[in-house]
Chains A and B, each alone.
Chain A
Amino acid sequence: MDKLQQAHQTRRLLAVTVLFTLLFAGIIARLYYLQVVKGSYYAGVADDNRLRIISTDAPRGEIRDRNGVVLATDVPSFDIVVTTYDLKNPEEELTVVAQLSGIKLATLQDVVKKAGVGPYSPITVARNVSKDVALKLAEREPDLPGIQLVMSTKRSYPLGTLAAHVLGYTGEISETQLQALRADGYVMKDTIGKDGIELQYESLLRGEKSEKLVEVDAEGKAIRTLQEQPAVPGQSLVLTIDSRLQKTCEDLLGNNKGAAIMMDPRNGELLALASAPAFDPNKFISGISDQDWKTWTAQGSLFDRAISASFPPASTFKVITGTAGLETHSITDRSIIYCGGGLTVGGRLFKCWIWPDAHGNEDIHKAYADSCDVYFWTVARLVGIESMDTYAKKFGLDKLTGIDLPGETTGFVPTPQWKLSKLNQPWYEGDTMNMGIGQGYVLETPIRDISIYSSIAMNGTLWRPHLLKASVDPVTKAETQTVPVVQDTLGVSTNTLNIVKKGLNLVTKTGGTARIQVGNIEICAKTGTAETGTPNLYHTWMVAFAPMDNPQIAVLLMYEDSPYQRSTSMAPLLRKMLAHYFDLYGGKNGSN
Chain B
Amino acid sequence: MRRILALVAILLCLGILQNYSITASLSAARGQFVTVTWSVVKQALIVVVGVAAYWVCSRFKYMRWADIAELLTYGLGLLLVVVLIPGVGRSVNGSSRWLGTASIGVQPSQAAVMAIPLLAAKLFSGKYLNRYDHRYYTTFLVFVLGFVGLVAIEPDFGTAFVIAGSSFGILLVVGAPFSYWLSRVMAAGALAAVAVSLKSSWKVRMTSFINPLAADKAKGVAYQLVNSMFAVARGGVFGRGFMRSVQKFIHFPAQENDFVFAIFAEEFGLIGVTAILAIYLWIMVELFRIASRSTEPFARIYTMSLGVFLTVQALVNIGVVAGVLPTTGVPLPFFSQGGNHIVFEMAALGIVGAIARSPEAST
**A residues in contact (CB < 8 Å) with B:** 1-2, 5-6, 8-10, 12-13, 15-17, 20-21, 23-24, 26-28, 30-32, 34-36, 38-39, 41-43, 45-48, 51, 53, 113-121, 211, 213, 225-229
Residue of A13, A23, A53, A227 with most chain B CB atoms under a 10 A cut-off: A13
Contact B323 A1 (CB under 8 A): no
Residues in chain B near residue A10, CB distance under 8 A: 292
Interface centre among A20, A41, A225 (most CB of B within 10 A): A20
Measured CA separation A48–B249 after assembly (Å): 10
CA distance in complex: A295, B31 (Å) = 41
Chain B residue with Cβ nearest A13: B288
Contact of B251 among A1, A15, A16, A121 (CB under 8 A): A121
Nearest Cβ on chain A to B266's Cβ, whole angstroms? 9
A2 to B125, CA, bound (A): 11
Q: Are A16 and B172 CB-contacts (below 8 A) given A1-B126, A10-B292, A227-B223? A: yes
Chain A nearest CB from B306 CB (Å) reads 13
Q: Which of chain B's residues has its CB closest to A116's CB?
A: B30
Q: Tell me whether A213 and B126 are in contact (CB under 8 A).
A: no
Minimum CB–CB distance from B296 to chain A (whole Å) comes to 9
Q: Provided the pairs A9-B174, A17-B284, A116-B30 are in contact, do residues A34 and B322 lie with their beta carbons within 8 angstroms?
A: yes
Q: Is B204 an interface residue (CB 8 A)?
A: no
User: For B315, what are the chain A residues with a Cβ–Cβ distance below 8 Å?
Assistant: 20, 23-24, 27
A-contacting residues, B266-316, CB 8 Å? 269-270, 273-274, 277, 280-281, 284-285, 288, 291-292, 295, 297, 300, 304, 308, 311, 315
Please state if B236 and A36 are interface contacts (CB–CB under 8 Å): yes
Q: Which residues of B contact A (CB under 8 A)?
A: 26, 29-31, 125-129, 169, 172-175, 213, 215-216, 219-220, 222-223, 226, 229-237, 246-247, 249-251, 265, 269-270, 273-274, 277, 280-281, 284-285, 288, 291-292, 295, 297, 300, 304, 308, 311, 315, 318-319, 322-324
A114–B169 alpha-carbon span in the complex (Å): 50
Given A27-B322, A30-B323, does the pair A39, B236 have CB atoms closer than 8 Å? Answer: yes
Decide: B220 and A35 in contact? CB cutoff 8 A: no
- Give the CA-CA distance A229 to B129 in the complex, in Å: 54
B250 contact set on A, CB distance < 8 A = 51, 53, 118, 120-121
Chain B residues in 8 Å Cβ range of A119? 29, 249
Q: Which residues of B are found within 8 Å of A211, using beta-carbon distances?
A: 220, 223, 251
CA distance A15 to B280 in the complex (A): 17
In the bound complex, CA of A12 to CA of B305 (Å):
12
Give the distance in Å from the alpha carbon of A46 to the alpha carbon of B215 in the complex.
Answer: 17
CB pair A28 B277 closer than 8 Å: yes
Contact: A8 with B175, CB < 8 Å?
Answer: yes
Q: Is A48 within 8 A of B246, CB to CB? A: yes
Residue among B216, B297, B323 with the highest chain A CB neighbour number at 10 A: B216
Q: Using Cβ atoms and an 8 Å threshold, which residues of chain B touch A48?
A: 246
Which B residues are CB-close (under 8 A) to A5?
Answer: 128-129, 175
Q: Which residues of B contact A226 (CB under 8 A)?
A: 213, 226
A46 adjacent to B234 (CB under 8 Å): yes
Q: Can you pick out 29 interface pairs between chain A and chain B where the beta carbons lie within 8 Å of each other?
A: A1-B126, A1-B128, A6-B295, A9-B175, A9-B300, A9-B304, A16-B173, A17-B288, A20-B284, A20-B311, A26-B324, A27-B319, A28-B277, A31-B232, A34-B233, A35-B235, A39-B236, A42-B232, A45-B230, A46-B246, A116-B30, A118-B249, A120-B249, A120-B250, A211-B220, A225-B215, A227-B213, A227-B215, A228-B215
Cα-based distance from A51 to B125 in the complex (angstroms)? 55
Decide if B229 touches A227 in the complex (CB within 8 Å).
no
Interface centre among A34, A43, A47 (most CB of B within 10 A): A34
Task: Pick from A28, A30, A45, A225: contact of B274, CB below 8 A.
Answer: A28
Question: Assuming A17-B284, A42-B230, is B273 touching A31 (CB within 8 A)?
Answer: yes
* Complex interface: chain A residues within 8 A of B277 (CB): 24, 27-28
Which residues of chain A have C-beta atoms less than 8 A from B127's C-beta? 1
Q: Who on chain B is nearest to A21 by CB? A: B281
A26 to B277, CA, bound (A): 11
A39 to B269, CA, bound (A): 11
Give 11 new A-B contacts, CB below 8 A, not counting A31-B270, A227-B215: A1-B127, A1-B300, A2-B128, A5-B129, A12-B173, A16-B169, A30-B324, A31-B273, A45-B230, A117-B29, A213-B226
Task: List, in ascending order, chain B residues with CB within 8 A of A229's CB.
Answer: 216, 219-220, 223
Q: Which residues of B lie under 8 Å from residue A120 when comparing CB positions?
A: 249-250
Instruction: Report yes or no: A16 in contact with B324, Cβ–Cβ below 8 A.
Output: no
Q: Which residues of B contact A114 (CB under 8 A)?
A: 31
Is the beta-carbon distance between A12 and B174 smaller than 8 angstroms?
Answer: yes
Complex: A21 Cα to B284 Cα, angstroms: 10
Minimum CB–CB distance from B243 to chain A (whole Å) comes to: 15
